[in-house]
Structure 1
Amino acid sequence: MLTVDTTRPTGPAGRISRVETLTLGTAWRDFSYVRLHTDEGLTGVGEITHPYRGRETCSLTEAMAERHLLGADPFDVEEIWLRMYQGDFLRGGDIGGIVVSGVDQALYDLMGKALGVPAYRLTGGACRTDVRVYANGWYTGERDPASFAARAKEAVGRGYDALKFDPFGAGLGELSRDELRRSLAIVAAVREAVGPGVDLFVEGHARFAMATAARLVRELEPYELGWFEEPLPWTHIDRYAELRQRAAMPIAGGEHFHNRYEYARLFATAAVDVIQPDLSMAGGFTEVRKLAAQADTHAMLVAPHNSNSPVCTTASVHAVLGMPNFSILETFDGMLDPHVFDAVRGALPVENGRIGLPSAPGLGIELVDEVFAEHPPSHRFWNMFAEGWERRAR
């Protein structure tokens, strides 16, 4: 089972005959993709973006193709997932997790195209008519209350009724008195600017020691947050449950975990109220559905992390349509360069903070090679623990 068996009957997509990787440069970060070809003339795409290690991720994708994908039937998704994970001796980690995730997305794209149905029809259908999203990345600019408030109003003016932001600057471990006051003033200004009808989520970026996190859950209580995300480093996962007992708002997290084995401790410790698996990091459709089912047995909601391109946004929409305990989906699509949408033709649009039911077969996305050639990767790095990171200098 851990080798490609070309003697078995083949499904309507044929067999995988070629695997490519492509990377697109943008003003924010590079976006990377895998494109699978079959001998029946079909192509399937998936996102393999790594914020800092794009070259390494593409290299591993190409190597895994030789070992586990060429000659495989795209409909054998469970076996391919196992072959890539167990056969390649993956034991967690971001690069391997991203590769498996992007390939899995591309397999569902191929299956949908072969059957002539949208990918969500292969993952439980739909139990909702659209998908609610929240905006991230909208607060690029100076770190002061007035700047955040103005940008929050702009985001709401574009139709979003839910926003996420990190008000803490380069804080790590603890905050000085001045920085604590400044951070809280930013949250207060955003709440006042958008009013009580907009959901606000505060991002901690897994940066605080327990004493600071505990103080923050007290200080943030008046602002009626939808959740406080990753207030503690995951090296201290056992203290998450303790923090939850002190918090008036839900605690969210899980974007850094790449499969059910890494998530096991999060579930066992009841670390969060809302899990945030990323469809381009946590194993693709095949694995995220299992994580959602496990979350449901722990009375947890699912709000997928998505700091990637419109390809991951589109794949995530397909994944959550049939997920009963889905809450809301993250998107950065509103801050991206126009050429990104030219490069990933067919990505689902955000309209008034919602994304509607897809209709095209598979994911409905085609990569436009000419646009990739015009915008090569930059391999830039921005450090969110450096002063001024939130300006995301271009």
Structure 2
Amino acid sequence: MKITGVETVRLAEFANLVWVLLHTDEGLSGLGETFFGASAVEAYVHDWCAPRLIGKDPLALQARVNELTDYIGWRGAGVETRAYSAIDIALWDLFGKAYGKPVADMLGGRSRESVRTYNTCAGYKYIRDARAQSVANWHRGASDGPYEDLEAFLTDAGALARSLLDQGITAMKIWPFDIAAERSAGWDITPAELKAALKPFEQIREAVGDEIDVMVEFHSLWSLPMAKKLARELKPFKTYWHEDPFRLDNVGDLAEYARHSDAFVCASETLASKHAFREYLQTGRAGVCMLDLSWCGGITEARKIAAMAEAFKVPIAPHDCTGPVVYAASCHLSMHATNTLIQESVRAFYTGWYPEIVVGLPAVERGFITLSQAPGHGISFRDEVRQRPDFTSRTSRES
């Protein structure tokens, strides 16, 4: 088998997503995906990566990864790393399809048949509209469905928690501190802002007690002194983990932060490669390794990070709040890795816009995710995607 074409696909409605298709001379194709800076990633895929892939054996997976990454190395989740990540996911999809097995089995077998999920409380517009990723810009009209969960945690987090528990989902992630962080660039929070940010936690505990685990997402927005203050303010609410309280320019700062937090330190979707995660683990304060398959280097690098975290006795919790391919690939890794703690998902996505563009999604039932026996990661575009008016593609082929 050899790669005969490298195709990128974009949909204007989801402007930050880019998909990569690797086509082969045996008629099989592998599908990958990454998020953010889609046009720059697309250009890099065709200018740098495609000439190094076309004509090569996709099943020699580590060799393909080595050829792409030897020059640039690994230090950040920039355009190069995001491109490699998408390509690597596509290679694993091909690897599974070539042998007729799911990626979870091709990784070396499953550690479990289902994995607990938590709901990240984003809404339907969160990826469709980049402005919606700013909490301050959220309230803009009618909902697209019953799970407008970002608005829900800002207005009635108790009712949101009850809704999740009714579906068997026993963990949720919210980010009410972002409003103050966006105003002050993370340097300050007023007493009124602090009271408003703590209200959702009060509502959740009043509504459901300790029946649901509450993860706190800080989106790397805070200064270290303010992050420590917020950790102390959250102690009465028994929060499960605190995710990315500040930018991890120096992961060693997490050791100082952890002294003020009773919750697990969780980091980070923004870290790329096993080398960055090694530094995180060596702080001695890592509670959870939150790795994003579309930013860390794909499945190949993620399985190494998971194994390294296991040696440090630290669990992994793959990040997902972007697109359906990374979601599915993350679920396969979660089924395989011995030290998987929990898998992120967004019900507004997997019941909303994901099924509009793909088929083969993992199933979510009573708070647990299961996989089909479909080969590869199981995700493919709906036939009608290529007829969408916002569809564009670019293909590099053998000359």
Q: Which range, TM-score by smaller chain?
A: 0.7 to 0.9
Match of 2:223 among 201, 209, 216: 209
Whether contact under 8 Å (1:274, 1:300) holds in the other structure is yes
Counterparts of residues 50-69 of structure 1 (less than 5 Å): 50=36, 53-69=37-53
Counterparts of residues 220-259 of structure 1 (less than 5 Å): 220-259=234-273
Residue 45 (structure 1) aligned with residue 31 (structure 2): yes
> 1: distance between equivalents of 2:378 and 2:342?
22
Could you say which residue in structure 2 is the equivalent of 1:6?
A: none
TM-score (norm 1): 0.85
Give, as a single letter, the amino acid of the residue that structure 2 aligns with 1:107.
L
Whether contact under 8 Å (2:89, 2:329) holds in the other structure is yes
Residue 153 (structure 1) aligned with residue 137 (structure 2): no
Counterparts of residues 1-394 of structure 1 (less than 5 Å): 14-26=1-13, 30-50=16-36, 53-88=37-72, 91-136=75-120, 137=122, 139-141=149-151, 144=154, 146-170=155-179, 171=181, 172-335=186-349, 338-368=352-382, 370-374=384-388, 376=390
Could you say which residue in structure 1 is the equivalent of 2:146?
A: none
> 2: distance between equivalents of 1:88 and 1:345?
35
Give per-residue Cα distances to partners, 1:272-306, cap 9 Å, x unaligned: 21111101111111101111111122221101111
> 2: distance between equivalents of 1:61 and 1:48?
11
Q: Secondary structure at the match of 1:46?
A: strand
> 2: distance between equivalents of 1:271 and 1:377?
45
> 1: distance between equivalents of 2:304 and 2:298?
10
User: What's the offset of the Cα at 1:307?
Assistant: 1.3
- Give the direction of change, closer, same or farther, for the CA distance of 1:165–1:69 in structure 2 (3 Å limit): same
> 1: distance between equivalents of 2:328 and 2:318?
12
Whether contact under 8 Å (1:226, 1:249) holds in the other structure is yes
Aligned length: 361
Whether contact under 8 Å (2:77, 2:295) holds in the other structure is no
> 2: distance between equivalents of 1:324 and 1:89?
28
> 2: distance between equivalents of 1:305 and 1:112?
22
- Give the direction of change, closer, same or farther, for the CA distance of 1:312–1:122 in structure 2 (3 Å limit): same
Give per-residue Cα distances to partners, 1:63-83, cap 9 Å, x unaligned: 234332101111111111111
> 1: distance between equivalents of 2:70 and 2:214?
40
Give, as a single letter, the amino acid of the residue that structure 2 aligns with 1:167.
P
Q: Secondary structure at the match of 2:252?
A: helix
Structure 1: which 5+ residue stretches go unaligned? 1-13, 379-394
Give, as a single letter, the amino acid of the residue that structure 1 aligns with 2:58.
P
Whether contact under 8 Å (1:22, 1:372) holds in the other structure is no
> 1: distance between equivalents of 2:178 and 2:75?
33
Give per-residue Cα distances to partners, 1:225-263, cap 9 Å, x unaligned: 110111122124222112212321111011101112232
Q: Secondary structure at the match of 2:249?
A: helix
Percentage of pairs with the same residue: 30
- Give the direction of change, closer, same or farther, for the CA distance of 1:88–1:364 in structure 2 (3 Å limit): same
Give per-residue Cα distances to partners, 1:112-165, cap 9 Å, x unaligned: 111111111111211112021111115322774x43333333333343211001
> 1: distance between equivalents of 2:26 and 2:240?
47
User: What's the offset of the Cα at 1:56?
Assistant: 1.1
> 2: distance between equivalents of 1:40 and 1:112?
14
> 1: distance between equivalents of 2:389 and 2:324?
16
> 1: distance between equivalents of 2:271 and 2:302?
11
> 2: distance between equivalents of 1:110 and 1:58?
20
Whether contact under 8 Å (1:309, 1:333) holds in the other structure is no
> 1: distance between equivalents of 2:74 and 2:190?
40
Whether contact under 8 Å (1:238, 1:271) holds in the other structure is no
Q: Secondary structure at the match of 1:324?
A: coil
**More deviation in 303-312 or 328-337?**
328-337
User: What's the offset of the Cα at 1:308?
Assistant: 1.4
Give me the CA root mean square deviation: 2.2
- Give the direction of change, closer, same or farther, for the CA distance of 1:333–1:107 in structure 2 (3 Å limit): farther
Structure 2: which 5+ residue stretches go unaligned? 124-148, 393-399
> 2: distance between equivalents of 1:99 and 1:338?
26
TM-score (norm 2): 0.84
Whether contact under 8 Å (1:318, 1:358) holds in the other structure is no
**More deviation in 348-357 or 180-189?**
348-357
Whether contact under 8 Å (1:134, 1:328) holds in the other structure is yes
Give, as a single letter, the amino acid of the residue that structure 2 aligns with 1:274.
V
> 1: distance between equivalents of 2:18 and 2:363?
20
